[in-house]
Chain A
């Protein structure tokens, strides 16, 4: 583009178009020297383009001085309700769960070793006493119990350690008193380890449950203010999420060491939280 026509022809619309097109760069001081000189010269001879620059500069100045705006209502109560319980970020929860499960594998191995030792002792004693017919159900009872199936507590169904405790605890009940004593102490030891391992998972669950309950209360209070279609949609979505949570928990019960399932459960819980939070703010 030629920049030699420093003196602008007055009223030339083509120059005004050019001026307007480059006005952004002019205001941002992005033009090279020759172009800037042309713009300045045109502006000095064209009242319309001079007015354009003045008005744009006024808009910029006023924008920088725009005041704050007050919300139509006090938002603090909604914010404070969400500060009550810190939500564990998905990544942190998943990391913690994985760490807990790494430890639980060790615990499981120790428990299994002890179980084998105890079982061998019992079998040997039984064989020596020629009580083969009573030994058989004992061996069976040791081999059969599924760590998962034996777990009664739904809060613990995220973790393997509870299963390890059950595995050790089941065997002595069908055996003679001496092994039962030995096994009993093993159970207490395993229980202590398991309790430590499950604590992290349980803490995460408790935090999630606490926040979900708190949000549920807020949502329940606000349900009357929402239209029926929204409430119906909310319930439908919550049902879907609850099913996903239930399915994840069941799958985790079958495969407690699966990081994928653990993450899936965390995501489902997080989705439920996000939905409740959104509704709480409606």
Chain B
């Protein structure tokens, strides 16, 4: 089965993210790579929910790389992604008192992040600002950046048309189902599958250049 499961995203800080580990250490907590939420983080979630700013900062430092990665991959715009990442954490701060722990904090956080990204897109389209996010399915990749001779997967994702990119990131990177994606993006599950296949084929072509 090639469909990823959302639970696979539980590790809050990937081992291959040295910046994140350093930041966490600086903030005074230790997260063992790949171990998921440790008790320190759970305590921080509870404390932050009651208004503890320092605990929330530790949560921010532990998760910012994952949240920023979602925003960057969904938006393909690093500056905008930084802005939206800030929006995500402000939103999380506001919603945290209502977090009941029914899912893992990182799962909940990822969903908030996706919602903020998508609501930003909806807001932009309401205000008539056509952006790269409104690209048609068949538009050729335009922002591919080569790293040396080989195209990096992240750069290849950034080069995808917006519709295909969103579906690819939500499905293959973030683990959402086609039904969930269809609901969030206002498309049918069949449309989501078509976009996903298109995205994978475009990535293959880009990576084989």
By a beta-carbon cutoff of 8 Å, the part of chain A in contact with chain B is 20, 23-25, 27-30, 52, 55-57, 59-60, 62-64, 66-73, 75-76, 78-80, 82-83, 86, 278, 281
B: contact size bracket: 35 or more
- Which residues in B have some Cβ–Cβ distance to A below 8 Å? 1-4, 8, 13-14, 16-17, 19-20, 23, 53, 56-57, 60-61, 64-66, 68-69, 72-73, 78, 81-83, 85-86, 89-90, 93-94, 153-154, 157, 168, 172-173, 175, 193-194, 196-197, 200-201, 203-204, 207-208
Q: Are A67 and B2 in contact (CB under 8 A)?
A: no
Among A20, A25, A56, A79, the residue within 8 A (CB) of B86 is A79
Can you show 21 pairs from A to B with CB atoms below 8 A apart?
A20-B201, A29-B1, A56-B200, A56-B204, A59-B153, A59-B203, A63-B4, A64-B172, A66-B69, A66-B153, A67-B65, A69-B68, A70-B20, A70-B64, A70-B68, A71-B65, A71-B81, A75-B89, A76-B57, A76-B61, A79-B90
Q: Which of B153, B168, B175 has most chain A Cβ within 10 Å?
A: B153
CA distance A169 to B85 in the complex (A): 53
Is B153 within 8 A of A62, CB to CB? yes
Q: Identify the closest chain B residue to A56 (Cβ).
A: B200
Query: Which residue from chain A places its CB closest to the CB of B169 in the assembled complex?
Result: A63
| Residue contact B14 to A68, C-beta cutoff 8 Å | yes
- How many whole Å from B130's CB to the nearest CB in chain A? 19
* CA–CA, A55 and B208, complex, Å: 10
Q: Is the interface of B mostly helix, strand, loop or mixed?
A: helix
- In whole angstroms, how far apart are the Cα atoms of A140 and B56 in the complex? 62
| Contacting pair A75 B17 (CB below 8 A) | no
B13 cross-chain contacts in A, Cβ below 8 A: 68
Contact status A52-B172, CB under 8 Å: no
Determine the distance from Cα of A106 to Cα of B168 in the docked complex, in whole angstroms: 59
Chain B's nearest CB lies how many Å from the CB of A222?
A: 13
For residue B172, which residues in chain A have a CB less than 8 angstroms away from its CB? Answer: 59-60, 63-64
Chain A residue at minimum C-beta to C-beta distance from B204: A55
Given the complex of chains A and B, what is the CA–CA distance between A229 and B192 in angstroms? 41
Determine how close the nearest CB of chain B comes to the CB of A56; give it in whole angstroms.
5
| CA–CA, A72 and B53, complex, Å | 23
Decide if B65 touches A30 in the complex (CB within 8 Å): no
Are A24 and B193 interface neighbours, CB within 8 A? yes
Is there an interface contact between A27 and B2, defined as CB atoms closer than 8 Å? yes
Q: Is the CB of A68 within 8 A of B82?
A: no
- Report Cα–Cα, A55/B86, bound state, in Å: 36
Kindly list chain B residues whose C-beta atoms are within 8 Å of the C-beta of A67: 14, 16-17, 65, 69
Contacting residues, chain B, for A69 (C-beta < 8 A): 17, 65, 68-69, 72, 154
Instruction: Looking at the assembled complex, report how far the CB atom of A84 sits from the nearest CB atom of chain B, in whole angstroms.
Output: 10
Q: Across the interface, do B82 and A23 meet the contact criterion of CB distance under 8 Å?
A: no
Assess the A71–B64 pair: CB atoms within 8 A.
yes
- Asked if B93 and A71 make an inter-chain contact with CB atoms under 8 angstroms apart, the answer reads no
Q: Tell me how far the C-beta of B190 lies from the nearest C-beta in chain A, rounded to whole angstroms.
A: 10
Complex contacts, A57 vs chain B, CB 8 Å: 2
CA distance A78 to B90 in the complex (A): 10
